[in-house]
Amino acid sequence: MAKPPAKRPGANKSSASKTMPGQTRVLRTKVTKKSGLKESSRRWLERHLNDPYVQRSKAEGFRSRAAFKLIEIDDRYKLLKPGQRVIDLGCAPGGWCQVAVARTKSPEDAPRVVGIDYLGMDAVPGAQVLMMDFLDDDAPAKLLEALGGEAPDLVLSDMAAPTTGHRQTDHIRTMHLCEVAADFAMEVLRPGGHFLAKTFQGGTENELLAQLKRAFTSVHHVKPPASRDESAELYLLARSFKGKPV
């Protein structure tokens, strides 16, 4: 059973009956107005503390609730298999690396999962993590070098640009990351490989979709249950790589 979150100033805990697969009970936490937080921050913290995926990630040892997005997508589409090589773009804090390592059975002494992020993070046994910006010119070569020069079976990207507070600007910057990740995937994937990346509703450019549809057998958007209903995020899934279009 999940341990209840630590009590914070202004927070009162009470149990509730809300449940989800893998967890029998989720404790509800109320953050009072006496906490000293701004109202928007108070509501965010209360939602975060009461998020069943947040509680479940802590109970099951995952770095973040985002791990369940990959778990749910993989349970449906069977992307990860033992022995595969995986590249995880924007991997911090490591939740997707953890899932990829477990499902590919990546060995600690010869990792087949390679992640990259300019943010620091704790090591994930079975994964090699490069602490650098994926947009650096030499990043693609270093990722392939870390895989021993072998082509990956799967390229993952949960990258999102740091927010500026301007919604349209943030949207454009994250979409750019999706496009760069897609171009990288089409350069390095082995035939039959897959690509999964974060995007936003209505944000994937028609030109990029057309490219992917020429390069992969199937291309569509996925919104896993772990992705919050109010969030505009989607995941772009391209399966069975045929080769980069000319």
Active site residues per annotation: 198
Measure CA 35 to chain center.
31
Q: Minimal CA–CA distance to 226: which of 56, 28, 88?
A: 56
Q: Is 117 annotated as a binding residue?
A: yes
Q: Which helix (H) or strand (E) holds 236?
A: strand 233-241
Instruction: Decide: 198 and 235 in contact? Cβ < 8 Å.
Output: yes
Asked whether residue 202 is marked as a ligand-binding residue, the answer is no
Residue 101: which residues within 8 A CB-CB, separation 6 or more? 111, 113, 124, 125, 126, 127
Alpha carbon distance 56, 115 (integer Å): 23
Residues with Cβ within 8 Å of residue 224, at least 6 apart in sequence:
68, 69, 72, 73, 235
133: annotated binding-site residue?
yes
Q: Comparing C-alpha atoms, which of 144, 159, 40 is closest to residue 85?
A: 144
State the amino acid at position 4 in one-letter form.
P
Q: Is 44 annotated as a binding residue?
A: no
User: What's the rounded Cα separation, in Å, for the pair 108 and 30?
Assistant: 41
* Crossing angle of the two packed helices 39-50 and 52-60, in degrees rounded to 10: 50
- Tell whether 153 is in a known binding site: no
Binding residues: 94, 96, 117, 133, 158
Binding residues for S-adenosyl-L-methionine: 94, 96, 117, 133, 158
